[in-house]
Amino acid sequence: MTQTNTAFRDALVKSLRGERGHLPTINAITDLTVDLASHTREEIPYSIYQLVKHMSYWQDFLLAFAKGETPERPKSASESWPKEASPADEEEWKATIQHFCDGIDEACELAETLAIDQPLAVWPSETPGGLLRNIASHNSYHLGEIVLMRRLNKAWPPPTGGYPA
């Protein structure tokens, strides 16, 4: 493995986890109550719960392709957004967070083990590294929204701290 490839793998894992550019991604969601995750505001079209479900949807979709699978493509991007603003209960919310965090762990494992620069047989114009980078940037984009929503609801910073506090 080349030094450049190793450096890219390391940077990719840090991006997936949310290191350097902002707080670790999981720190923005793991302490949230069901009430806060479900809270909606007139000026924001979705809840934090809906954001995390949306992030998980695309994370799962791109992870499948990175592993050489061919998941069914959605007919519309709207399929990646749940209609319900809140989970049924605390148990579902915890399962939603766990599923999302497990996906980040899987993405990091793939970044460290796959030939990340080789074109995919199921998507020749793409590489595993490109798909994992897409996951990191998509999650980062929505993490910013979650942080802003937390601020608007006076739930910032999380117990782990935030930048800026």
pLDDT digits (tens, 9 = 90+) for 38-49: 999 999 999 999
- Matching CATH number, 3-152, of 1.10.600.10, 3.60.10.10, 3.30.1330.10, 1.20.120.450: 1.20.120.450
Domain residue ranges of the chain, discontinuous segments joined by +: 3-152
Query: Distance (Å, rounded) from C-alpha 161 to C-alpha 24?
Result: 10
pTM: 0.94
Task: Report the pLDDT averaged over residues 12-39.
Answer: 92
List pLDDT tens digits, range 95-114. Answer: 999 999 999 999 999 999 99
Q: From residue 35, give the alpha-carbon distance in Å to each of 62, 73, 98, 154.
A: 30, 32, 17, 13
Model confidence at 21, pLDDT cuts 50, 70, 90, reads confident
pLDDT score at 1: 53
The pLDDT assigned to 125 comes to 96
Q: Read off the pLDDT of each residue in 145-158 and give the average, rounded to a whole number.
A: 94
With bands split at pLDDT 50, 70 and 90, how would you rate the model's confidence at 22?
confident
Percent of the chain with pLDDT over 90: 87
CA distance 156 to 165: 7
Cβ burial 106-129 (10 Å sphere, 16+ → b, else e)? bbbebbeebebeeebeeeeeebbb
pLDDT number for residue 162: 78
Cα–Cα distance, 48 to 36 (Å, whole number): 8
**Closest by alpha carbon to 141, among 18, 27, 40?**
18
pLDDT at 88: 97
